[in-house]
Amino acid sequence: MIVVAAPFFLERAWIPKRPGLRAVRIRPGAPSGFEGSLGRPDLLVSTGFCGGLDPRLKTGDLILASEVYHRGRRIAVDAGILARARAALGADRIDPAVGGLVTADRVVGTVDEKAKLWKETGAIGVEMEAGSLAAWAEENRVPFLALKAVLDRADRPLPLRRAADAILHPLAAVRAGRVGFSTGRAIGRGIAALLDGFGGEG
């Protein structure tokens, strides 16, 4: 069983419905209490929107995490699992940016905050869920991946009065023009490719 975790309906709506796959909702921020919903998957995938830290990334680009930084910890994604994921995505002509992902406990919405995180960590994206999931997966020896779609570029701030809405309520971000159809479609296409590569039909 492959479990794909995302906090919001708008993100989960793009996850393909297939045998052998279960989509679960987790709380944004630093989620806890999610363990019972995960079971014992063969693969745990954290997906959804993220902010870009690498200035080269555009809205709608996919990030495949090679490592996750969370609360002072660095959790590396297994090299074999990562290579298999890259091959699965490549088979569908998807070329994600591969690099570190920072899990923050609050919205990182300004250009300066993003630049500081990029300089301090070298990570290419920031979000609010993958760290807790990666830590759980490491502790329970469950294969883990994080595949995120860039919502806001490194050089574009989230409007401060809408920052919480844009991250915590992605539908508001869509209405504000910050997330296009292509961003959600990128999530769906990427997850579908991973399912094909990891036997999601089983």
pLDDT per residue as tens digits for the range 136-170: 999 999 999 999 999 889 998 865 444 455 555 55
Domain ranges of the chain: 2-197
> pLDDT higher for 191 or 35?
191
Superfamily of domain 2-197: Nucleoside phosphorylase domain (3.40.50.1580)
Summarize the confidence of residues 112-123 as an average pLDDT. 95
> pLDDT higher for 94 or 8?
94
User: pTM, whole model, 2 decimals?
Assistant: 0.87
pLDDT per residue as tens digits for the range 37-69: 677 899 999 999 899 999 999 989 999 999 999
pLDDT at 75 over 50: yes
114: Cα within 13 Å, side-chain hemisphere: 23
